[in-house]
Amino acid sequence: MIGGAQYLKELDYTARMTGEPYLYFETKVVAKLMQDKIEKEKMVDMIKKENLFQYKTKKSIDKIFNAVYKRLCVLDEYLLNIVANYNSQESKIIVLYGLMKTNRLFFEFMNEVFREKINERSYKLNKSDIMAFFDSKREQSEKVAKWHDYTLNKLSQVFTKTLLEAGLINNKVEKRIVIPSIDKGLIDHFIEIGDAAYIKAMMGDMII
């Protein structure tokens, strides 16, 4: 399991979420295979042969599997078990945590924009909030500065859809922030493993 939020600074900014979004269903599939201690290569074979992702073609399976597997590898056994075996708000939060843990740009958006919205009790997330965040990253990073407007608009759409699927906004139109109701034991677990920053990014500073 990878350490706290500090390590994210070692990751480069990436726009890969345009092709590797939230992927809740696929993440649960792979989590169950990981719990069964199946070797990584055999997992891919099983997913393809049994069409566990329920895709029409096998074209993108390898790419999606690798994205999901990377996110699951940052989870400990306690968190992995919840993702694999429970259809709950907690499992959705943990999948989002795995995404933030492996994607610096998305974590910084959650930490700098989403978290601050909650802290300020300003519960409407506008597209302008997301685009202003990207503008600030363009100023901070030469790599992001080179990205086309199309890429940033696509990322904005994916960020919004991710929040919707994770249950953190009410719909795509209004985009009103919904603070999730999750078990205190899970919050305490994030604190114990040194990842309070991630739960604050999703629920605001008042949660701790």
Note down pLDDT in tens along the chain; length 208 residues: 554 555 555 689 999 999 999 999 999 999 999 999 999 999 999 999 999 999 999 999 999 999 999 999 999 999 999 999 998 899 999 999 999 999 999 999 999 999 999 999 999 999 999 999 999 999 999 999 999 999 999 999 999 999 999 999 999 899 999 998 889 999 999 999 999 999 999 999 987 6
Burial of 46: CB neighbours in 10 Å, binned 0-12, 13-18, 19+ = middle
Q: State the Cα–Cα distance between residues 179 and 142, nearest whole angstrom.
A: 34
pLDDT at res. 138: 97
pLDDT at res. 8: 56
